[in-house]
Amino acid sequence: MPSNDERWLDAEAGPVVRPYALTQGRTRHAGEAFDLVATVSATGGRVADPGALAPEHMSVLQLSRVPTTVVDIASDVDLPLGVVRILLADLRELGLVAIRAPVSAKPRQIDRNTLREVLHGLRAL
Amino acid sequence: MAYGHYDAAGMAARRHRAIKILLAGGFGVGKTTLVGAVSEIKPLRTEELLTERSKRTDSTAGVEGKTTTTVAMDFGRITLRDDLVLYLFGTPGQERFWFMWDELALGALGSVVLADTRRLADCFPAIDYFERREIPFVVALNCFEGARRYSTEDVRLALDLEPGLPIIMCDARSRESAKDVLISLVEHVLAHADEPAYP
């Protein structure tokens, strides 16, 4: 019979580290809220204290070297959106990433030129 | 909205534009099929809101992880240009996931309500949701094989939709058809872009 420790460490049990353990239990991020399609880009700033960052911070930072949206990052690192938001806010506080609002953060405010570009883009698919 | 300092990275990010489109409708109506027909599908895990809810009833710090449930959903990604990307979010149909809708709908271009004529009532909540929030939408009827065809006017009557609201027949499996649905939505939004409510 397996010991208590072994019993839970199979694939069925899910990740051994709970997602929010990566954020030291924090479920809310610091600073201004950002949309799930806000664009994240690395500022190119130096990491002053690499010990303060988790490997997941580094993965997220790596992905944002090209402007990338929050959802794309969450999908690519395979972590829950809420966890990725906290990691991104940490990186923003350290000045390592900039987070830009999407085209429109309010309902019905996408400008006509952008709408036309979307229309042309779809027709050309 | 202020989003931090305007450095070089910020400038690059500003040129990168992301547009959200929602895809709503009852369970099994073909939302994922339609997204897959026209875009690259990517998986997404979310779980934060269930955590927030648990925090209100549980004052013990550090136990949040025990009450979270992962909600898996997909989204579609269509690169229209290097700096212009369309994101399609199929909204989880079950009512307990409606907390996701408000975030998905914020700033969205509009929504497609996908309907099955055999179960029209399934899309009532979605239509109600978008009408209340004045989020522009079109209705796409997924024409399942073997299902009786109704005229769009019958459907308009049944769903109590305004005369100008586009209702499109579609085949969610077909790329061209899915494309036409999205084009109808953007045309609809553009046509009403001059109305006073639209800045």
CA of B155 to nearest chain A CA: how many angstroms apart?
26
For A42, the closest chain B residue by CA position comes to B9
Q: Is residue B62 part of a domain?
A: no
Domain range for B80: 16-43+75-191
User: What does DSSP say about strands B137-142 and B110-115: parallel, antiparallel, or unpaired?
Assistant: parallel
- Would you say residue B7 lies in a domain? no
* Residue B160 touches chain A, beta carbons under 8 Å: no
Asked whether residue B51 is assigned to any structural domain, the reply reads: no
Average of per-residue pLDDT across A71-87: 94
Which residue from B196, B115, B193, B103 is spatially nearest to B152, judged by alpha carbons?
A: B115
Using a cut of 0.95, tell me whether the model's pTM lies above it: no
Nearest chain A Cα distance for residue B157, angstroms: 26
Check which CATH number belongs to the domain holding B151 and give it.
3.40.50.300
Q: Which residue in A76, A104, A106, A109 has the most chain B C-beta atoms within 10 A of its own C-beta, making it the best mutation to test that interface? A: A104
pLDDT tens-digit profile of A91-123? 999 999 999 988 765 555 788 999 999 999 999
**CB < 8 Å from A in window 38-77 of B:** 38, 42-48, 51-52, 55, 61-62, 64-65, 68, 70, 75, 77
In the predicted model, what is the mean pLDDT of chain B?
81
Q: What is the DSSP string of A51-106?
A: GGS-HHHHHHHHHTTS-EEHHHHHHHHT--HHHHHHHHHHHHHTTSEEEE--S-SS
Structure tokens of A9?
A: 């460490």
8 A C-beta contact, residue B186 and residue B192: no
Q: Test A99 with B78 for CB contact under 8 angstroms.
A: no
Which whole number is the average pLDDT over B16-44? 92
Residue B140 lies in a domain: yes
Residue at B125 is within a domain: yes
Say whether residue A79 is in contact with chain B using an 8 A CB cutoff: yes
Is B8 inside a domain boundary?
no
- For residue range B76-95, list pLDDT tens digits in order: 999 999 889 999 998 766 56
Q: Domain count of chain B?
A: 1
